[in-house]
Amino acid sequence: MQSRRSTDHSNPGQQLLLADLARDWKFLPRLSHRPRRIMVFVNPFGGKKKGLKIWERDVQPLMNIAEVETKLMITERAGHIRDTLLAASMDDIQAVVCVGGDGTFAEVFNGLVLRAAKDMQIDPNDPDVNLPTPNLPVGVIPSGSTDTVAYSLHGTTDVQTAAIHVIFGDSTGLDLSSVHNNHSLVRLYASVLSYGYLGDVIRDSEKFRWMGPQRYDYSGFKKIIANKGYEGEIELLSDPCHPAGSTRCMENCTRCLQHMHNTVPDKEISRWLTVRGKFFMVNGANVSCACSRSPLGFSPHCHIGDGCVDIILIRHTSLLNNIRVLLRLTSKHKTLYDLPFVEVYRAREFTFRALPTLHGQPGGEINSSRLISELSVWNCDGEVIQDPDVKIRVHCQLLKVYTRRVQEPIVEPSCFCST
Ligand SMILES: Nc1ncnc2c1ncn2[C@@H]1O[C@H](COP(=O)(O)OP(=O)(O)OP(=O)(O)O)[C@@H](O)[C@H]1O
């Protein structure tokens, strides 16, 4: 079913899918696993507020041609999707599709997992519980500001590519990571959990939502100038596979397939590590976190279904180094892995505890009365989590998502090839 052809390197994901589509469309009636009745949530508010237009112009016509019945809901407020999924009858539904950004997708999977937990009488607030797998697969159609999950899954934020993934019904298992505070489950995330600089940016940028996606540039500039670093302690259950030495996660990824079949002896090969210090950022990446602005993302070798997060710890050093980090994140070729003030781990779970920050007096002495705690917040898939002290656990392939994954483009020889 898959083709491996690419000539347009500006958007290889879309090009591959269109080639697939032309050839595979005639097989559509024979695909028994494709969804015929879907529940669609459209967020008209995220990104450039084009969610509804994208649905009506680009997605709905494709669903009509493919004879997919849709039950549409346009969201009216934050939390609307989650609340609906907790209560709705879903007996006649075969999949849930969202048109929105990372926050919209997060509402869908948080709602589905909590619904499954409620139905099975599992307490999600227990940080050691095995959360139940939702019955329904999810389609992610991007119309947000960053759309990290869609980009990391499909290799493009092309809307029709994402819609075609739903129509053909090819799915794969996506890890979800739970975030608990001292009392309860705060939420699950699929993209990244980030403390420090990106936490400061998301907290500040919410005040400037009227600016659209540019709010991130504005708050990003303010907060990099103001950053003084945050003290903290991370305890992590490390996996022996180091991200820098790992393969890229693509179509038919061996590492994810092994974890799907539980052929990896988990806990025996993991060990606990403790890291303390002052950090510019502490990140737990559940996927590569690639997006159009950051083509490789935080951790280009992160796997979507191996039961691990990649932890990227960026030490507090200088403003210049902080700017180097941001420049690296926009690079198409270089990763964060080899910067001397960056430490990278692959982990199955981790905890973070904020430590008090010592502030020196102008004379250079440290006065214990000025021992104050400077805290950031967590940026969790673009939403703010206030509690600095959290426990994170990865739930291997908890959610089925519609995607054919990123395929390795085969560069066709051209007459300008060097010999
Ligand atoms: N009608 C609405 N009015 C206000 N907020 C809404 C509405 N519908 C959904 N939301 C909330 O909007 C938030 C942001 O949406 P979304 O994440 O899709 O866009 P974004 O933040 O622009 O994109 P990204 O997360 O990719 O950067 C979501 O957390 C969702 O809860």
- pLDDT by residue (tens digit) across 109-127? 999 999 999 999 999 999 9
Reply yes or no on whether the pLDDT at 309 is more than 80.
yes
- Number of C-beta neighbours around residue 251 at 10 A: 16
Reply yes or no on whether the pLDDT at 408 is more than 80.
no
DSSP state of 413: P
> Which tens digit of pLDDT belongs to each residue from 230-247?
999 999 999 988 898 888
Instruction: Give the model's confidence band at 9: pLDDT under 50 very low, under 70 low, under 90 confident, else very high.
Output: very low
Residues forming beta bridges with residue 41, ordered by sequence position: 73, 98
- In 61-212, the DSSP E strands lie at 69-74, 95-100, 138-142, 171-180, 185-189, 192-196
Ligand 1 mean position, distance from CA 134 (Å): 22
Reply yes or no on whether the pLDDT at 409 is more than 80.
no
Q: Which of 170, 171, 162, 172 lies closest to 31 in space, CA to CA?
A: 170
Q: What is the pLDDT of residue 7?
A: 33
Reply yes or no on whether the pLDDT at 374 is more than 90.
no
Rounded CA-CA distance 416/210 in Å is 48
141/382: higher pLDDT? 141
Whose alpha carbon is nearest atom 1 of ligand 1? 76
Measured in whole angstroms, how far is the alpha carbon of residue 239 from the centre of its chain? 20
**Helix or strand or coil: residue 304?**
coil
Q: Could you give the angle at which helices 12-24 and 159-168 cross, rounded to 10 degrees?
A: 40
- Contact, 321 vs 329, CB < 8 A? no
Tell me the average pLDDT across 272-301.
95
Distances (CA, A) of 190 to 246, 286, 415: 20, 6, 43
Q: What is the pLDDT of residue 22?
A: 61
Lowest mean pLDDT among 71-75, 120-124, 257-261, 413-417: 413-417
Reply yes or no on whether the pLDDT at 410 is more than 50.
no
Residues forming beta bridges with residue 353, ordered by sequence position: 233
Rounded CA-CA distance 180/174 in Å is 20
Ligand 1 binding pocket (C-beta < 6 A) is 43-47, 75-78, 80, 100-104, 107, 144-147, 382-383
Instruction: Give the model's confidence band at 5: pLDDT under 50 very low, under 70 low, under 90 confident, else very high.
Output: very low
Tell me the average pLDDT across 239-266.
81
Domain with CATH 3.40.50.10330 in the chain: 12-170
Instruction: Give the model's confidence band at 405: pLDDT under 50 very low, under 70 low, under 90 confident, else very high.
Output: confident
Rounded CA-CA distance 41/92 in Å is 16
Rounded CA-CA distance 311/294 in Å is 17
Ligand 1 mean position, distance from CA 47 (Å): 8
185-396 folds as Tumour Suppressor Smad4 (2.60.200)
Rounded CA-CA distance 150/144 in Å is 10
Q: What is the pLDDT of residue 23?
A: 64
Rounded CA-CA distance 284/175 in Å is 13
Domain with CATH 2.60.200.40 in the chain: 185-396
Q: What is the pLDDT of residue 248?
A: 87
Q: What is the pLDDT of residue 6?
A: 32
Give the active site residue among 20, 102, 158, 306.
102
Q: What is the pLDDT of residue 294?
A: 92
Q: What is the pLDDT of residue 413?
A: 43
Q: What is the pLDDT of residue 129?
A: 94
Tell me the average pLDDT across 241-258.
88
304-343: buried (b, 16+ CB within 10 Å) or exposed (e) per residue?
Answer: bbbbbbbbbbbbbbeeebbebbeebbeeeeebbbebebbb
Tell me the average pLDDT across 167-185.
95
- Number of C-beta neighbours around residue 374 at 10 A: 12
Distances (CA, A) of 79 to 17, 141, 299, 354, 383: 33, 18, 29, 28, 12
Tell me the average pLDDT across 328-351.
95
Ligand 1 mean position, distance from CA 45 (Å): 6
Judge whether 91 counts as a catalytic residue: no
Tell me the average pLDDT across 327-339.
94
pLDDT, mean over the chain: 87
Whose alpha carbon is nearest atom 3 of ligand 1? 77
- In 133-224, the DSSP E strands lie at 138-142, 171-180, 185-189, 192-196
Q: Hey, which CATH number is domain 12-170, 2.60.40.1510, 3.40.470.10, 3.40.50.10330, 3.40.50.450?
A: 3.40.50.10330
Tell me the average pLDDT across 200-205.
93
